[in-house]
Amino acid sequence: MSALLAGFLVAFVIATYFATDLFTVRGVILVPIYALVVIFLVLSGVLLMKKRDGWAFGMNALVIALTIASLFVGLFPRVMISSISHIYNLTIYNASSGSYSLAVMSIVAATLLPFVLAYSIWSYYIFRKRISSHKHLEY
């Protein structure tokens, strides 16, 4: 599985290098990030061979997190790159909402969040016991 992931990672880095300007803009930051990704991927394979599944899972999680972080680092402050011209790039500044809509969404979120949390806590409380084969269920 790690060999398959390594193949996809190499293909991703090569496609990123040739299809975008991320390495020319932020290459100083991206090269160490991808070096860490390779180190964590190799560690994951070693840990899998040593039957340390929990640590291998953690290393794979770091590989995924750093790969996604590299996209954010490379694109900043852009959100979406225009294929027509760099003038039409979508940036975090022109993609952000206005102050009124942010205020309305904050009020809605603060109002509805207690209900969502209460429902989640209630459902976890209701379904806290495991079903065993010793109990007979009738429908």
pLDDT class of 122 with cuts at 50, 70, 90: very high
3-state secondary structure the chain: CHHHHHHHHHHHHHHHHHHCCHHHHHHHHHHHHHHHHHHHHHHHHHHHHCCCHHHHHHHHHHHHHHHHHHHHHHHCCEEECCCCCHHHCEEHHHHCCCHHHHHHHHHHHHHHHHHHHHHHHHHHHHCCCCCCCCCCCCC
Q: How many residues does the chain have?
A: 139
Q: What is the mean pLDDT of residues 4-31?
A: 83
Give dist(CA 93, CA 79) in Å, integer. Answer: 9
Give dist(CA 110, CA 115) in Å, integer. Answer: 10
Between 36 and 139, whose confidence is greater?
A: 36
Question: Quick one: tokens of 117?
Answer: 């949390």
Q: pLDDT by residue (tens digit) across 59-86?
A: 999 999 998 998 888 888 888 888 898 8
Q: pLDDT by residue (tens digit) across 31-53?
A: 899 899 989 988 998 999 999 99
| Residue 4 · residue 39 · CB < 8 Å | no
Q: What is the pTM of this model?
A: 0.63
